Amino acid sequence: MGDPDWYVGNYEFQVPIFVLTHTVPEKLPKQSQRLTFTFVTDGIESAIRQAKAAAGDKNVTVIGGASTVQQCIHAGLADEIHIDIMPLLLGEGLRLFEDLGAEPIELETTRVIESAGVTHLGFRIIN
């Protein structure tokens, strides 16, 4: 079996990473000078606030599933949404666009990139 910490020098995002979680792992992942991990257990607002402080004048990217996206939208913390669609039906799980509230969310399309096996969509949140 290979080195479980192989990603430290190879991971594409060599930036501080803030992990939204209910439980901090006992064994922390290996870190480097540029790639660090902070486990945040007190909510999405705290995670975004800490990430923005670490990013300074740079953008903050949130990567997550339906629950994380919904929390960002509910808290008014998302200004763009990027969705990657792959031809695979899972059959169950959280629906991305469920529980977003009664008010419609207006989106402006910013990108559509089609390629073999995946379509990338980008939207700016208007309201």
pTM beyond 0.85: no
Is 1's pLDDT higher than 60?
no
* Residue 93 pLDDT: 81
Is 125's pLDDT higher than 90?
yes
* Tokens read off for 90: 């899972």
Q: Is the dihedral of CA 63, 65, 66, 70 positive or negative?
A: negative
* Residue range 49-73: mean pLDDT, rounded: 93
54's enclosing H/E stretch is helix 44-55
* Residue 103 pLDDT: 85
3-state class of 80 per DSSP? Answer: strand
* Tokens read off for 53: 């402080």
Minimum mean pLDDT range among 83-87, 94-98, 109-113: 94-98
Q: How many CB atoms lie within 10 A of CB 40?
A: 18
Domain residue extents for the chain: 1-61, 79-127
What values do phi and psi take at 67, rounded to 5?
A: -60, -45
